[in-house]
Structure 1
Amino acid sequence: MIYLDYQATTPLAPEARDAMLRWLDGPGGAGFGNPHSAHRMGRQARAAIELARHRVAALLPPGGRVIFTSGATEAINLAIRGSGSQGTVCYSAIEHSAVSDTAQSCGPAHVLGVDAEGLCLPDQAIPGGTRLVCVMQVNNEIGTIQPSAEWHRKAAGNNALFLCDAVQAYGKIEVTGADMIALSAHKFHGPKGVGALWVRDGLDLDEVQTGGGQEYGIRSGTLSPALIAGMGAAAHEARERMAEDAAHVEALWRRARELFGAWELNGSAQARWRGNMNIRRDGLDVGRLMSDCRDVMFSAGSACASGSGRPSHVLKAIGLDDRQAKSSIRLGWGRYTTMDEIEQAADAINEAAEAQGL
């Protein structure tokens, strides 16, 4: 099988797996202790968590703290719900549903427009009384890189906080400044089930999930040393290999653009993470294509919305009609993808598309 769905999840890095194993030891080992216990095993587990916290923070702006969560969805909920209840929440039209649905459930919400390239430009007004602005750094469906640093400055100039969903950016490009930044480990070769919210120093959040208050008195629940150690190892590896990974992804992008030259690209070709290629051929039956190419793992859109039958809200936001949106596929690659896999996948997908008379 050829895996080209890196926006949905990434393969677990061997370094992350190795880091996790010690903290999964059973009665014969010493790695199963509760990190909130005061005894030796608890202190050892806590030390592993603090090392991981340091490693995750190394790829984030200075002057903030990392709060571990179960993933980016929880981190986003903590940021939006914990940062206040009075005022409007603004978010871009191409945000993940974890942002848009949460914002809508918390009171007044305002949608920021995007252009045909898939960029949310900061030349648009935000309503008076806005308390929070949410613009992701890299879009999960079309890969466009947003001017999030400019949005951070605009939010601050309007006395609002800024939340950046950096799930698709972290470990790949520099994460720009914000008041809060959401992360998910399994998008940068860490394990599923763990993420983090970075919160700048001086910003206090309300507790959303009550209980023991294990994470800075804000997020309750026993932490998993294994998952967090895996996330920390993945972050450390991403930092060490960022330039190498980016060069590899760029080479794969250039070859894929040649191989899929007959397809239309959705979103900007320039302001884009090169590990994401969202393309279309009008009239394409994507369901049939995926069935004919069952040994190539790719997406008909965001994995979070697959099976809904609805056209992608991201593709609709950049001006595609329902038919064009439903004729689009997303290919994603990264560190462990080979050039041969890109070429084999292109042969299979192009052959299957041509069999449809396209």
Structure 2
Amino acid sequence: MRSRVYLDWNATAPLRDEARAAMIAAMDVVGNPSSVHAEGRAARALVEKARAQVAAAVGCKPAEVVFTSGATEAAAVLGRLPVGMVEVEPTAHDCLWSQRRAGQGSRAIGWGYANNETGLIVEPPARAEGEILMLDIVQAVGKVPFSFAWSGAEMAIVSAHKFGGPKGVGALIIRDGVETQPVLTGGGQEMGRRAGTENIIGIAGMGAAAEAAQRDLEAGVWERVAELRNILESTLSLAGNNTISVGKGRARLPNTLCLIAPGWKGETQVMAMDLAGFAISAGSACSSGKVRESRVLRAMGYEGAEAASAIRVSLGPETTEEAVLRFAEVWSAQYAKALNRAA
């Protein structure tokens, strides 16, 4: 029996060996990072090492890294800025949300730098003076070159499990001088930005994963992944069906392929391929396992049955060419059967 093939790296990346080792070591550190005794200082040293590792990976100062429980909590800070009520503004990639103070026009803008469903990389729009920009770089970290220092953004959000760290830990990157109101208040940890005793085990794993991810990026590992993605895309285009490759030819994450198979529902594809030994997705993994119509695809002009027939295949450094070609063969055969049944 052949082993399963994991092609859902955008949902979560497998835990890196470096992260696992760092987490195991952190389990033996007994102190509270806020304590001043030797045990506390040892715990604090782990947190600060990880802060420096994350900062190096995203191109910011260590003091600009605030550890959180994940990207969702980090993004919640946007709702604590003194700019008024929330106003949702979907774009062609469903990656913009904003807040505006009624009658004054000041805004805080949240922008998805790399879309998780399509892989498209979208530069943020021009901003008026005084507007605050938060970048969602969850999918970009470790896959494409990025530096917060030159991004022009005031804030960014990061999630550890997207680049091989543990689940349940992330970070808010916030530029020096930008004032926010913490979502969680209390003990004043994380420079007063996020109260609560730090999750040193998760933080240590995140730091180690960030360092390893940056090392892979600089070594060209994701260029090879992009080659495999292109092989898969080309192979499927030769299958003689009506498959649509969303975003082909545009700037994309190196590992992401969004396919529309007219006449074959996305959730049906996921189930069929799961039974065949392949893990893929019918969109974002951020909706508690529910399959919903993609607002991203709808905004891009793919509506109704087309949008409902989309899947996301996301590769990683462990993906092999043999696995990619086997996926193309099995998926094409399953698609042909689905079309025959519908005829």
TM-score scaled by length of structure 1 = 0.84
Is 1:266 aligned to 2:237, yes or no? no
Residue 147 of structure 1 corresponds to: 123
1:251 aligned partner: 227
Do structure 1's residue 69 and structure 2's residue 51 form an aligned pair?
A: no
Q: Which of 43, 46, 56 matches 2:44?
A: 46
How many angstroms does 1:224 deviate by?
1.2
Matches within 5 A, 1:190-339: 190-243=165-218, 244-261=220-237, 262=241, 263-294=243-274, 295-305=277-287, 307-339=289-321
Unaligned runs of 5+ in 2: none
Contact 1:3–1:297 (CA under 8 A) maintained in structure 2:
yes
Q: Is the 8 A contact 1:53 1:232 kept in 2?
A: yes
Deviation >4 Å, runs of 4+: 87-92, 106-109
- Report what 2:140 is aligned to: 169
Q: Equivalent residue of 1:132, what SS?
A: strand
In 1: Cα distance, 2:135 partner to 2:191 partner: 21
Q: Note the C-alpha offset of 1:90.
A: 6.5
Q: In the alignment, is the contact (CA less than 8 A) between 1:91 and 1:134 conserved in 2?
A: no
Q: How does 1:1-20 map to 2 (within 5 A)?
A: 1-20=4-23
- Please give the TM-score of this superposition, normalised by the length of structure 2: 0.88
Aligned to 1:135: 111
Pairwise CA RMSD: 2.2
- Share of identical aligned residues, percent? 37
User: Residue by residue, what CA displacement relative to the aligned partner does 1:153-184 show, whole Å, maximum 9, x if unpaired?
Assistant: x22x3310111000011112222331001000
Partner Cα separation in structure 1 for residue 257 and residue 189 of structure 2: 40
Whichever residue aligns with residue 343 of structure 1, its letter is L
Pair 91,170 (structure 1): closer, same or farther in 2 beyond 3 Å? farther
The answer on 1:354 being equivalent to 2:330 is no
Q: State the one-letter code of the partner of 1:40.
A: A
Deviations 1:73-131 (A, max 9, x none): 000001x12322337657543346xx75xx5xx6779xxxxxxxxxxxxxxxxx97132
Partners of 2:21 and 2:334 in 1: CA distance? 39
- Cα shift at 1:233: 0.6
2:264 counterpart letter in structure 1: L
Equivalent-residue separation in structure 1 for 2:300 and 2:5 (angstroms)? 29
Does the CA contact (< 8 Å) of 2:233 and 2:245 recur in 1?
A: no
Q: CA deviation at 1:307?
A: 4.6
Query: 1 CA distance for matches of 2:192 and 2:76?
Result: 16
Alignment length (residue pairs): 324
**Superposed CA offset, 1:326-349 (max 9, x none):** 111100011221111111222221
SS at 2:171 equivalent = strand
